């Protein structure tokens, strides 16, 4: 499927904003559906099976953060949150709930187009080099299935968490600055607090590290950023 043919669901109780986004993205040849509240959104979500949901935080019958979490638990869909809140803590909370990106009202349609395009690029077919399954002792990262297993148990990662872990593990031992990770994984010049990287790293650590207070796989390099450090044995990536 090409990026332009991706399916997008817009959820916003403001008809002006909802219709504006719907019409604008439809002109980019995306397949569009809309919903004005949480109940209708879930019904459309089930039938439409979108690739991306553009989701307002404040809905008349639902909390956007909870709706984001519910939708991603069903399909792992990409979610772009919309909000009038400018507080950075609200954005951090959104990322904690699995949001892939966050845009604050008012926003330009040009910015929205860039954000949507960057998120959907993650659906691109992986190259032969990127198809290699990375295995580090009991941790396995499969880029084809986009699955991570630990001790043969599936690790529930969001789409962005998977991309971030796979990128770091594909370059074991290399230290990456937060700005570099945003550019490589988010795939555009993110304008905002770079703590979003810390939030996602923290979420991944909760799922793959034995002790999050003393992480051994994803290590913090003070004053610089992060690196993936393979275990002492079985450290080499092997083909599945």
Q: Does residue 8 share a domain with residue 110? A: yes
User: What's the rounded Cα separation, in Å, for the pair 228 and 173?
Assistant: 6
Residue at a domain's end among 123, 151, 167: 123
72 in a structural domain: yes
The domain that holds 119 is classified in CATH as: 3.40.50.2300
Q: Does residue 140 share a domain with residue 43? A: no
64 in a structural domain: yes
Instruction: Say what the pTM is.
Output: 0.61
51 in a structural domain: yes
Q: Does residue 136 share a domain with residue 103? A: no
Q: Does residue 218 share a domain with residue 136? A: yes
21 in a structural domain: yes
236 in a structural domain: no
Q: Does residue 36 share a domain with residue 105? A: yes
75 in a structural domain: yes
pLDDT digits (tens, 9 = 90+) for 207-234: 999 898 899 999 999 989 999 998 875 4
Counted domains in the chain: 2
pLDDT digits (tens, 9 = 90+) for 150-161: 998 999 888 788
Give the pLDDT score at 25: 94
Pick 188 or 22 by higher pLDDT: 22
Pairing outcome for strands 147-150 and 139-142: antiparallel
The domain that holds 224 is classified in CATH as: 1.10.10.10
Contacts with 21 (C-beta within 8 Å, 6 or more apart), sequence order: 10, 12, 54, 112
State the pLDDT confidence band at 239, using cuts at 50, 70 and 90. Answer: very low
Q: Does residue 207 share a domain with residue 116? A: no
Tell me if 143 sits within 8 A of 131, measured CB to CB.
yes
144 in a structural domain: yes
Burial annotation 142-166 (CB, 10 A radius, 16+ → b, else e): bbeeeebebeeeebebbbbbbbbbb
Q: Does residue 222 share a domain with residue 191? A: yes
- On average, the pLDDT of the chain sits at 84
User: What's the rounded Cα separation, in Å, for the pair 184 and 163?
Assistant: 10
Q: Does residue 76 share a domain with residue 56? A: yes
pLDDT digits (tens, 9 = 90+) for 51-93: 999 999 989 999 888 899 888 888 878 899 988 766 666 666 6
Q: Does residue 37 share a domain with residue 134? A: no
Residue at a domain's end among 95, 123, 151: 123
Nearest C-alpha neighbor of 100 from the set 175, 185, 42, 191? 185
Q: Does residue 160 share a domain with residue 146? A: yes
Q: Does residue 163 share a domain with residue 97? A: no
Residue at a domain's end among 61, 96, 123: 123
Instruction: Domain of residue 196: give its range.
Output: 129-228
Contacts with 111 (C-beta within 8 Å, 6 or more apart), sequence order: 103
User: What's the rounded Cα separation, in Å, for the pair 82 and 104?
Assistant: 6
111 in a structural domain: yes
Q: Does residue 172 share a domain with residue 112? A: no
């Amino acid at each position: 499927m090409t990026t332009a043919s991706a399916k997008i669901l817009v959820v916003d109780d403001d008809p002006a904003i909802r219709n504006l986004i719907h019409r604008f993205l439809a002109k980019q040849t995306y397949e569009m559906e809309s919903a004005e509240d949480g109940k209708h959104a879930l019904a459309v979500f089930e039938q439409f099976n979108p690739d991306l949901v553009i989701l307002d935080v404040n809905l008349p019958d639902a909390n956007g953060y909870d709706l984001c979490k519910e939708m991603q638990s069903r399909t792992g869909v990409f979610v772009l949150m919309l909000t009038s809140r400018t507080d950075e803590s609200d954005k951090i909370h959104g990322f904690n709930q699995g949001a892939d990106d966050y845009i604050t009202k008012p926003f330009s349609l040009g910015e929205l187009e860039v954000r949507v395009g960057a998120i959907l690029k993650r659906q691109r077919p992986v190259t032969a080099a990127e198809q290699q399954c990375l295995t580090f002792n009991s941790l396995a990262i499969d880029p084809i299935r986009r699955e991570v297993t630990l001790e043969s148990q599936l690790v529930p990662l969001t789409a962005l968490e998977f991309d971030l872990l796979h990128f770091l593990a594909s370059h074991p031992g290399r230290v990456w600055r937060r700005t570099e990770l945003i550019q490589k994984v988010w795939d555009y010049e993110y304008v905002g607090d770079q703590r979003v990287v810390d939030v996602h790293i923290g979420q991944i650590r909760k799922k793959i590290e034995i002790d999050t207070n003393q992480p051994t796989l994803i290590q913090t390099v003070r004053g610089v950023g992060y690196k993936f450090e393979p275990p002492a044995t079985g450290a080499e990536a092997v083909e599945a």
